[in-house]
Structure 1
C-alpha cells in the first residue's frame, strides 16, 4: 500500500471515528499532496506523486509546524502551540522512524566514505547522498554542521 493510500484510508477512519483533530490534519496532508500533483502536471497527463515525494512533503509540514509552535510559545499563545504539536505527532505517524544521534553519526561517516569526500568542498556531495538515502529520517539542518565538522577534521 502506497503512502497516499495509507493516508486516504486513515482519513476515512478519522471521519468514521469523528476524530476532528486527526481529520483536519490528514485533510491538510491530502491537500498538500494534491497541490504537488497539480504542480507536477505538464500537459494533460495524470501524474502521481511517489512515496519519496510524500515523505518530503510531510517533512516540510513538520518543519513548518515546529517553527509555528515555537513562534506561538514565544508569543504566549500556548493553545495554538499545543495544536501545532498535536499536528506534528499525527504527521510523524506517516514518516519513517527518525534516526537517533548514534545512527545519524554513523550515516554521516558512511556517506563521507562512499562519496570519497576529502574536504569542505565535497560537502554538497555528502549532503546529496544523505538526502537520497535518509529523507524524512534525519533533520538535515542539524546534520549539515556535523558533516562540516567531519570534513574539516
Structure 2
C-alpha cells in the first residue's frame, strides 16, 4: 500500500547530508599530559593505589583549571608543571602542619606523595643560574636601580616558571638591583 520513500524516513536523508569537514588541525596534546595518562594506566594495572591517587589528583587539578575563569587558552607542559608545583607546595604546607600536630605518619605519607610528584618536574634552575640570567638582563637593559625592576622582570618573563619560580626570580632581581 505505501511505498518506502524519503518521507517515511525523514532523518535518514538528513543525517547523510550533515557531514562537517574542518581544515583546523586538532590541538597537540602536551607530552607531559600523555605521560601522566600513561602513568594512570600503569598504576591501575599494577594496583598501586597510592600512585594512582596522586596521578589522578593531577588530572583532577588540570580539569579544574581548564574549567576555571583563569584558564589558559592552551594547556602546555609548562602550565601542567606549574600546576604540579602548586600541588607540591600544598603538600609541603600539610607536612609542616602534620609535624606541628605530632602526626608523623601523615607527614610521611605527604612526603611520599611529594616525591611522586617531583618525577614530573624538570630540573630546576639553581640560584646561581638564576642570578647569572638576571645579571645578564640587567646589563642588557642598562638597569641602574629598583625603579628599573619592571623592565627587568618583563624581559625575564620568558623564563620557564616550572624551572625558575617567579618568586625566586623576583627576589633575585631585587637583590641584584639593590647591590647596584
TM-score category (smaller protein): 0.7 to 0.9
Between 1:26-35 and 1:64-73, the stretch displaced more is 64-73
Shift in Å, 1:48: 5.2
Q: Is the 8 A contact 2:84 2:117 kept in 1?
A: yes
Indicate whether 1:3 and 2:32 are aligned.
yes
Shift in Å, 1:127: 3.9
Say if 1:112 and 1:61 are closer, same or farther in 2 by CA, change over 3 A: farther
Moved over 6 A (4+): none
Distance 1:28 1:115 in 2: 42
Structure 2 residues not aligned, in runs of 5+: 1-29
Computing the radius of gyration from Cα coordinates, the structure with the larger value is 2
Structure with more relative contact order (C-alpha pairs < 8 Å, separation 6 or more): 1
Partner of 2:161: 135
Q: Is the 8 A contact 1:37 1:48 kept in 2?
A: no
Shift in Å, 1:109: 2.0
Partner of 1:26: 55
Shift in Å, 1:150: 0.7
Normalising by structure 2, report the TM-score.
0.71
Hey, which of these two has a bigger chunk of helix by percent?
A: 1
Structure 1 residues not aligned, in runs of 5+: none
Distance 1:68 1:128 in 2: 33
Partner of 1:15: 44
Distance 1:111 1:83 in 2: 42
Q: Is the 8 A contact 2:78 2:160 kept in 1?
A: no
Partner of 1:60: 86
Distance 2:58 2:138 in 1: 34
